[in-house]
Amino acid sequence: MKITELSLKQLADGLGKGEFSATELARQYLDRISASQLNGFIDVQPDLTLEQAREADRRLAAGERGALLGIPVAHKDIFVTRGWRSTAGSRMLADYVSPFDASVVERLAAAGAVCLGKTNCDEFAMGSSNENSHFGAARNPWDLAAIPGGSSGGSAVAVAADLAPIATGTDTGGSVRQPAAMCGITGIKPTYGRVSRFGMIAYASSLDQGGAFGRSAHDCATLLSAMVGFDPRDSTSLQRGPEDFAEALEQPLSGLRIGVPAEFFGDGLAPDVRAAIGTAMAQLEREGAQLVEISLPRTSLAIPAYYVIAPAEASSNLSRFDGVRYGFRAEQYGDLVEMYEKTRAQGFGEEVKRRIMVGTYVLSHGYYDAYYLQAQKLRRLIAQDFRAAFEKVDLIAGPVSPTVAWNIGEHSDDPVRDYLADIYTLPASLAGLPGMSLPVGFGQGGRPVGLQLIGNYFAEARLLSVAHSFQQTTDWHLRRPADQ
């Protein structure tokens, strides 16, 4: 087995025993990144990576050990980093270098993780396919014609293609779970407020949440443990201490009640996805879980609610890109107003502009009550549906996406088709609940299918333990695409 195919635990053991150095390990990944055709990365700076690797080697030589010490990690280019550019996939920030590190970046660096670079993503994390990136679409390693999912597409690509053993992502409405599903890897978004948003370039602040990608639930648990924790620099950070999710993985499934929401298995679900999900649920049942039919009656309303609230917040968050404070400024303009107009017209892509317009509209006088306030009420009702469900079951399972990855360009004339495909991930986002995706097979065209698990608040450890148990008896998470 190549060292780029080892699990985090095996990597940490190998580093600890001196079988290979952090520098050798980082080099192997950097070589794979530079040979890759997948457009998974926006910025790679081998000198900086190797400097961090040498520092990890010094710590290892001094006898220090740690689950992430010397382990390479790729960061979604939404987390700001000193050294590497921080673009958010936008022309607006194409040359921007942050003077500080995001909290997540800082925490992982303190744990000794070695940054491999910044991964491709939809512009300001708006999208479900990674095609909205100023730096071009990333490609799905299982099929170069397919999208990798989005918005954290590059991070999912990096892990799926062994360009990084683990990667960070962000999930506002599904952007960790959906690309994990489409690339055949494991990904988790924790409870809103557990991972600091400080230094995460904002899309929709009441929904944005950092998350983890890995090949297995075990690897995700290790990464997520280093990411969570209270941060006074994020006003919505939860006052909750650290937690070691990797410690809590071995829990039996017997007696576990898994809710199966009828609304997640309606007409819109493609037969190939339905079949793979059905087989996975039967496996969970064999391992001792009890499947319970439940209802999340407002599921379909999550789409209109989310696509009002998220653009509303985005229109406010993105007002800071005015050509003055940082980032891109149009070259030619007359007065100040024209400078703003041209900067924003040239700096933002189509989808971002569409959302700024929708957001500004739903917040405007006369429409606020009709759209924004209604959407907030729906959001509350959706959260109440989950609360009622969690009185009957311990967690909820269903598909992540109604179909496997579609082709690059397939939805380009109709953005609403992308929005509709978010139906199964948006409800948990609106409620602030933790959710994850784990690979459970392949559908049409040999493209991966992910199973979604949704937990009650702070049930990350339980979710990961169920995924871990599943991965002890199946090998979907170990399947690898051919090198591209």
Member of 126, 277, 294, 463 binding ligand GLN (CB under 6 A) = 126
Q: Annotated catalytic residue: which of 21, 36, 76, 196?
A: 76
Member of 156, 310, 393, 405 binding ligand GLN (CB under 6 A) = 310
Count of other CB atoms within 10 angstroms of residue 262: 13
Member of 154, 174, 184, 434 binding ligand GLN (CB under 6 A) = 174
Nearer to ligand GLN, 290 or 360 (CB): 360
Nearer to ligand GLN, 83 or 455 (CB): 455
Please report how many Cα atoms fall inside a 13 Å half-sphere around the Cα of residue 190, on the Cβ side.
Answer: 27
Q: Is 149 a binder of ligand GLN (CB under 6 A)?
A: no
Its sign, for the CA torsion 30, 244, 246, 119, is negative
Stretch of 157-165, 172-180, 218-226, 320-328 contacting ligand GLN, by CB under 6 A? 172-180
Contacts with ligand GLN: how many residues (CB under 6 A)?
13
The first and second tokens of residue 175, run together, are 């952007």
Instruction: Yes or no: say if 152 and 170 are a contact pair by the CB < 8 Å rule.
Output: yes
- What is d(CA 354, CA 350) in angstroms, rounded to the nearest whole number? 6
Q: Is 131 a binder of ligand GLN (CB under 6 A)?
A: no
Q: Is 172 a binder of ligand GLN (CB under 6 A)?
A: yes
Member of 127, 399, 439, 450 binding ligand GLN (CB under 6 A) = 127
Q: Is 125 a binder of ligand GLN (CB under 6 A)?
A: yes
Q: Annotated catalytic residue: which of 21, 175, 225, 429?
A: 175
* Residues with Cβ within 8 Å of residue 141, at least 6 apart in sequence: 38, 148, 157, 160, 161, 183, 481, 484
Kindly write down the DSSP assignment for every residue of 205-226, as one continuous string: TTT-EEEEEESSHHHHHHHHHH
Could you report how far apart the first and last alpha carbons of the chain are, in Å? Answer: 18
Nearer to ligand GLN, 11 or 310 (CB): 310
* 205 has catalytic annotation: no
* 175 has catalytic annotation: yes
Q: Is 77 a binder of ligand GLN (CB under 6 A)?
A: no
Member of 83, 117, 148, 173 binding ligand GLN (CB under 6 A) = 173
* 151 has catalytic annotation: yes
Number of H helices, E strands in the chain: 15, 11
- What is d(CA 266, CA 299) in angstroms, rounded to the nearest whole number? 11
Member of 175, 299, 317, 465 binding ligand GLN (CB under 6 A) = 175
Q: Annotated catalytic residue: which of 36, 90, 151, 429?
A: 151
Q: Is 422 a binder of ligand GLN (CB under 6 A)?
A: yes
- What is d(CA 343, CA 324) in angstroms, rounded to the nearest whole number? 10
- What is d(CA 233, CA 241) in angstroms, rounded to the nearest whole number? 15
Q: Is 403 a binder of ligand GLN (CB under 6 A)?
A: no
Count of other CB atoms within 10 angstroms of residue 168: 30
Instruction: Yes or no: say if 178 and 445 are a contact pair by the CB < 8 Å rule.
Output: no
- What is d(CA 453, CA 187) in angstroms, rounded to the nearest whole number? 11
List residues with catalytic annotation: 76, 151, 175
Positions touching ligand GLN (CB under 6 A) are 125-128, 151, 171-175, 203, 310, 422
